[in-house]
Structure 1
Amino acid sequence: MLKISLTLAAVLILAATADQAAKPAEPAKPAEPAKPAEPAKPPKKESKTNTKKEQKKEKVAKRPKKKESKSDPDPKPPVKNEKTKEQKPAQKIKEADEIAKAKSETERLSILNAYAEAKSKHDTIELRAEIARLKLEKELLSEKMAHAAATQSSNKMDQIAKYTAEKEELTRESTLAKLEAEKLGAELKVLQADSSMKTSGLMAEISEIEAQKKRDNYANADPVYLDTPLKKKGALVISDRRIPFNGPVTSTLADRVTTRINYFNNKDPKKPIFIVIDDSPGGSVMAGYRILKAMEGSEAPIYVVVKSFAASMAATITTLAEKSFVYPNAIMLHHQISQSFTFSSMNLTEQKENVEDLKKWWARLADPIAEKMGITSDEFIEMMYKKTVTGDWTEFGDDAVKLKWADYVVSRIHETALLKNPDAKIVAPTTTRSAAIENGLTPAIDDNGNHYMILPRRNPKDLYLMHNPDGFYRFK
């Protein structure tokens, strides 16, 4: 309906404009043959210019002529003035005719122009109607667009308001959640602080208990250093200046003993040093002799203590020490020096030379022992073989003191260096086997399934003064 009404309005407007344009065109009907109105426009301009020129000429003609000056040296002859007077009326008539023609031409051109304008209006009426219709449609579209924009804007405003409300609600909820989280965090911190305090208290108690236990593992005492370590009733006091001597006598054991002798001498050259033998079957003559020479060179006195068993080279070190102490039930064993020729071939001369070396070593070791006993070396050997057919002379500690193999029998030994509880840290007990491993021996099993210890490779000139009746110590 709206489109129909708009179309009717446009038609009415166009009809009214067409009527107005048709009215001035009626007097121009006789001029219909002269249709090309547009080409006539340039003459219109010319006619205007012509009329202007004619008007100027008329004005000029109406102006009074100037009087000729008396001083004109060349006055025109009177004949020429008469001619000009005769020519003026004719010129005016001509000009009037031209003016009339120009006026008629101007009227004609104006009529043509009006006709052309009316025809142009008539020809463009449909276009103007279309333009009017398009304008109305444009206005209608603008109104629709404005209405749609207003509706969209309203919807957007509603959505924005909705989103704003939702955002505020979410912000509120987020703030509440944050506050709740902060509250929970504060409560958690309080709980953690309480727990930490309790834990710290418990840890402090545990640390105190552990520290007390550790402290209990140490004795409330200091090592005792006595210049005369043997007290009344046969009690021997040993300080922390003690050197363990266990297992076969090897180069490794000799290194361990001699380095400690040197250390204790450098630390204090006056306090006694104790070499404590728990169990040693003897061993290398060269290694044992190195220990003897370190004992002789020590500025601090060195005392040897035998608790269990000292044989061969270990017994020699005990007998030749500055002072030696033994338990009454400790066992000491002396025998001749020996050498094994297993897996080696020697001619008679080499064997003779080897025997001579044995005699020399025996003299260096046995002569001082025999001298201390108050007998000769030969008597010492003879007494060995009187005791046993093997020549292994064995005596208990109290009898060994009578034979001057040792100096003092002790009833008890006070180890003042043992200030830490030995059960605080489990340590494997020191046995002959473990001591042998520490001294460089290697455990092995023979073809018969018997366990034995492989002695370190021997120096070609070295000898073994060792009690080894069951062949537990062997050379590879």
Structure 2
Amino acid sequence: MHNSKIIFESVRGLEAVPIDDVFLRDRKVFLVGEVNDESCNGLIKQLVYMESEDNTKPIILFIDSPGGSVSDGLAVYDVIRLMKSPVTCVVTGIAASMGSIILLACDKDKRFMLPSSRIMIHDCSFGNRQIGGLKPFEIEEELNQLKHTNERLVSIIAERTGKTVEEVSEVTKYDSYFSAEEAIKFGLASAVIDTSNFGTIVGGKN
């Protein structure tokens, strides 16, 4: 994907332009793969660039991510929430864990899913953090921080879906997967993309 190029004819002759640059020019960006410092820093730079260029034009964010770093994902969430540019999100595969939180940064009527895509939400975990060798006080501090972070994520899901914190907490106890139709019913997404709206949404004319 990153090495793909589009051939354009210009006054200088034929030019090979990276396809990501073409999409960026059309205000389309992608979060594909793990949510981490590299993917999120790159995405934030693209979002901030488009916001500074023209904060009245829409942006489309395509997501296919299993999730990852909470702090990096929240950084993207906060940036989107602060932007004036209207951001539409399209889930092309799965928006899981922090991928789902980034999806929720978009307004409810701007969260779309392809027919076979899914969303997964759950409580946060230690991930790769090793607690072996830590003292009881240190473990307690880690648990308190994890609880605080989880409360933040649950509150985001509740606020952005219209559910209560209690309703969300019940669902996020486990890895809860939603089909497109189920995600719409829960308030995670607004509509499924089909042949009737594909061109309008993905074409950026919404």
Q: Which amino acid aligns with 1:395?
A: F
Please name the residue that 2:180 is paired with: 397
User: CA 1:288–1:306 in structure 2 vs 1: closer, same or farther (change >3 Å)?
Assistant: same
Residues 162-194 of structure 1, C-alpha deviation per residue, up to 9 Å, x if partnerless?
Answer: xxxxxxxxxxxxxxxxxxxxxxxxxxxxxxxxx
Which amino acid in 2 is paired with 1:404?
Answer: G
Q: Percent identity among equivalent residues?
A: 28
Cα distance in structure 2, aligned partners of 1:253 and 1:372: 24
Shift of 1:364: 1.6
Shift of 1:416: 4.6
* 1:333 and 2:120 correspond: yes
Mind listing any 5+ residue stretches in structure 1 that lack a counterpart? 1-210, 218-222, 224-238, 386-390, 418-476
Query: Which of 59, 72, 81 lines up with 1:273 in the alignment?
Result: 59
SS of 2:90 mapped into structure 1: strand
Q: Where does residue 6 of structure 2 map in the other structure?
A: none
Partner of 1:448: none
Equivalent residue runs for 1:91-110 within 5 Å? none
1:319, distance to aligned residue in structure 2 (A): 2.3
Aligned counterparts of 1:339 and 1:377: Cα–Cα separation in 2: 22
Q: Does residue 94 of structure 2 align to residue 319 of structure 1?
A: no
1:281 Cα deviation (Å)?
Answer: 0.5
Q: How does 1:112-151 map to 2 (within 5 A)?
A: none
> Relative contact order (alpha carbons < 8 A, sep ≥ 6): 1 or 2 greater?
2
Q: State whether structure 2 residue 33 is matched by structure 1 residue 250.
A: no
Partner Cα separation in structure 1 for residue 88 and residue 155 of structure 2: 21
1:286 corresponds to: 71
Q: What does the per-residue CA deviation read over 1:401-445, in whole Å, with 9 as the maximum and x for residues that have no partner?
A: 11011122211433559xxxxxxxxxxxxxxxxxxxxxxxxxxxx
Q: Is residue 162 of structure 2 the alignment partner of residue 377 of structure 1?
A: no
Does structure 1 residue 407 correspond to structure 2 residue 190? yes
Q: Which has the higher strand share?
A: 2
1:347 aligns with 2:130: no
Q: 1:314 deviation in Å? A: 0.2
In structure 2, stretches of 5+ residues that fail to align are 1-8, 17-21
Q: Where does residue 471 of structure 1 map in the other structure?
A: none
How many corresponding residue pairs? 180
When residues 284 and 352 of structure 1 are mapped into structure 2, their CA distance, relative to the original with a 3 A threshold, is: same
Structure (1 or 2) with the greater helix fraction: 1
Q: Is 1:326–1:406's contact at 8 Å kept on the other side of the alignment?
A: yes
Distance 1:416 1:289 in 2: 27
Matches within 5 A, 1:460-471: none
1:319-348 deviations in whole A, cap 9, x for unaligned? 232221111321100011000443742121
If you compute each CA radius of gyration, which structure gives the higher value, 1 or 2?
Answer: 1
User: 1:285 Cα shift?
Assistant: 0.6
Q: TM-score, normalised by structure 1?
A: 0.35
CA RMSD of aligned residues (A): 2.6
Q: Distance in 1 between matches of 2:168 and 2:61?
A: 26
Runs of 4+ in 1 over 4 A off after TM superposition: none
